[in-house]
Amino acid sequence: MTGFREIADRVYVMRYPVLDVNVTLVTSPGAALVVDTLSTAAQAGELADAIRGITRDPLIIVNTHHHFDHCFGNATLAGAGVPIWAHEDAVRELRERAGSLPQDLYERWLPSEPELAAGLAEVTVRVPDRLVGARATVDVAGRAVALHHLGRGHTGGDLVVHVPDAGVTLAGDLVEQGAPPSYGDDSYPLEWPDTVAAMLRLVPPDGIVVPGHGAPVDRAFVRAQHEQLGELERLIREGHADGAGVLDVAARSPFGAEASLTAVRRGYASVPGRWPGFRPCDMGAGPVAGAAPVR
């Protein structure tokens, strides 16, 4: 397994090869903060070994959102008394679906990732116990780390984790590197650009942003992706007003048609009223053939 790499003062990032997902470790003498916990018990066990290679201090855990690849390692990594922080919407999603999620995910991932699917089928979902509304501050043995809910985007409960003394911002899946942003059935494509704009106000000119997946990036990268998110929002709103079909709008997306179909469907559904000339077939028959499951 790939180990942690220090990207700023006592801030370490590990890119886990399955789904190229990031875990971040923020340390201080006496405590350590872990942001996201991977997908399965086996993966979280490897993560625990990697953490012990850097620190054996007590852990605090943050989940950036409720998707499995960011929080299904909770039960393995968090021992008795270990707090787990997440936005209240993410907690609600996990609490309501804890019983069905492992089997649902097993069936979704079995065709493409059988080893991952097998691990997901056996996961015990541990729901976070520290709820965040708009903002919270976590004391990591005297080192302040801020948790912000700046709006909806990738999900309704995205948390941005800001380490001000290191100039590091952890974006979760609000930012993606190496692949287009992931628009799932719980995403908010018309609100996502504003949320990223608010996040950019936290990032200093020379700051580092850790995306949910892929390599750490700089402020210029996030600004460029924000412009693309805004372009897709504009296309959705204009397409709705003009009566354009979902497939036509998705084909003009800066992220490509395959990555944008769900975004357009979600966007159209969130604008009041049906768009002119609506036909049920305009919504499309389903995902593009061969499309990967949404993270």
pLDDT attached to residue 91: 98
Distance CA 196, CA 229 (A): 9
pLDDT attached to residue 79: 86
Which residues does the chain have with pLDDT short of 70? Answer: 1, 273-295
Rounded to 5°, the CA angle 237-155-116 comes to 125
- Select from 19, 3, 10 the least CA-distant residue to 211: 19
Distance CA 190, CA 61 (A): 30
User: pTM of the entire structure?
Assistant: 0.91
pLDDT attached to residue 139: 98
175-187 in b/e form (b: 16+ CB < 10 A) is: bbbeebbbbeebb
Domains of the chain: residue spans and CATH: 5-218 (3.60.15.10)
